[in-house]
Each structure stands twice: as structure tokens, then as C-alpha cells.
């Protein structure tokens, strides 16, 4: 009987242990999409027409990598691409975009302003790579 009580107590204590050692790995499909910016998110775009705003496309290439494509229309149309970008979850609910050991951006769920000025909850991308700073949302 003593062995049964001791075993039950030990089992109960082991079951109450916090499982903070398991961190889910974000999948590229969770952040994939075309992120747009507007004058509310980036003041440098205030004078641009809506069809000439820069945009960033995150495309899943494998289970743990992304391809990042930045498209600009001003001063002339061009496209820049980064391959082999990986995701790293952060303690503050952000997902860091990494190339090698360097953080090049982040995606987080936040309040964003759409092109019409409406405030909504959405995914916000901040990118500091390819000689640019980009802030955009996933519509």
C-alpha cells in the first residue's frame, strides 16, 4: 500500500511539471503571402499612388525555408529576392526572419491600418534587408 501511495504521488508530481521546453516551430505557410504597405504604415509612401506601392512576397520553398521577394515600382520597377530565409519563434510572440545568423525582419500579429485607414488586426511584416526598410501588412 505504501508503494502505491508513493508511486501515485511521484506520478502526480511528474505530471504537474510545466512543459516550457516544447516550443512550436512556425511553419513558413503561416507567414506566407504578399504584404502591402501604405501611407499609414510608411510615411515615405504618402505621395505614391496605390498601384505603385512597394510590396514583399514571402513564399514557402520547403518545410523550414522561405523566399523573400521585394517589388518596387519607383523610381523604376525592380525586384530583389532573398532565398534560404528561415523562421525563428521569439518569446514576445514575434516570428523572426533569419538569413544565416542575422535577423532580417519579423512577422507578428498586431493592429494595422489598411489602405483605407481602417484599423484592423492582422499580420505585420517588418523587413530590414536588401538596402531597404519595409513595413507592411497581409490583407
From residue 76, how far is each of 53, 54, 81, 85, 135 by CA, in Å?
A: 12, 11, 16, 26, 20
In this model, does residue 10 exceed pLDDT 80? Answer: no
**pLDDT tens digits, 26-71:** 678 888 999 998 888 888 888 888 888 899 999 999 888 899 999 9
pLDDT at 69: 93
| Cα(17)–Cα(48) distance, integer angstroms | 55
* Rounded distance between C-alpha atoms, residue 31 and residue 23, angstroms: 17
Q: Where are the domains of the chain?
A: 25-137
Question: By the 8 A CB rule, do 107 and 95 touch?
Answer: yes
State yes or no: pLDDT of 6 exceeds 80. no
**Of 94, 125, 102, which Cα lies nearest the Cα of 26?**
94
Q: What is the CA radius of gyration of the chain?
A: 21
Take residue 59 and report the three cell numbers written for it: 513564399
Residues 77-135: tens digit of each pLDDT? 889 999 999 998 888 889 999 998 899 999 999 998 888 888 899 999 999 887 778 88
d(CA 67, CA 85) in angstroms, rounded, equals 6
CB 85 within 8 A of CB 97: yes
- Res. 136: pLDDT tops 70: yes
Select the more confidently predicted residue: 87 or 25: 87
Q: What angle do CA 58, 112, 88 make, to 5 degrees?
A: 40
Amino acid at each position: 500500500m505504501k508503494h502505491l501511495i508513493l508511486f501515485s504521488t511521484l506520478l502526480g508530481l511528474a505530471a504537474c511539471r510545466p512543459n516550457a521546453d516544447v516550443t512550436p516551430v512556425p511553419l513558413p505557410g503561416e507567414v506566407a503571402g504578399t504584404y502591402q504597405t501604405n501611407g499609414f504604415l510608411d510615411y515615405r509612401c504618402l505621395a505614391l499612388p496605390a498601384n505603385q506601392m512597394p510590396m514583399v512576397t514571402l513564399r514557402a520553398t520547403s518545410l523550414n525555408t522561405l523566399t523573400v521577394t521585394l517589388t518596387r515600382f519607383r523610381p523604376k520597377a525592380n525586384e530583389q529576392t532573398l532565398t534560404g530565409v528561415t523562421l525563428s519563434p521569439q518569446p514576445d510572440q514575434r516570428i523572426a526572419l533569419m538569413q544565416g545568423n542575422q535577423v532580417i525582419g519579423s512577422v507578428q500579429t498586431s493592429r494595422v491600418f489598411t489602405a483605407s485607414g481602417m484599423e484592423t488586426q492582422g499580420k505585420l511584416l517588418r523587413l530590414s534587408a536588401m538596402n531597404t526598410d519595409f513595413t507592411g501588412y497581409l490583407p
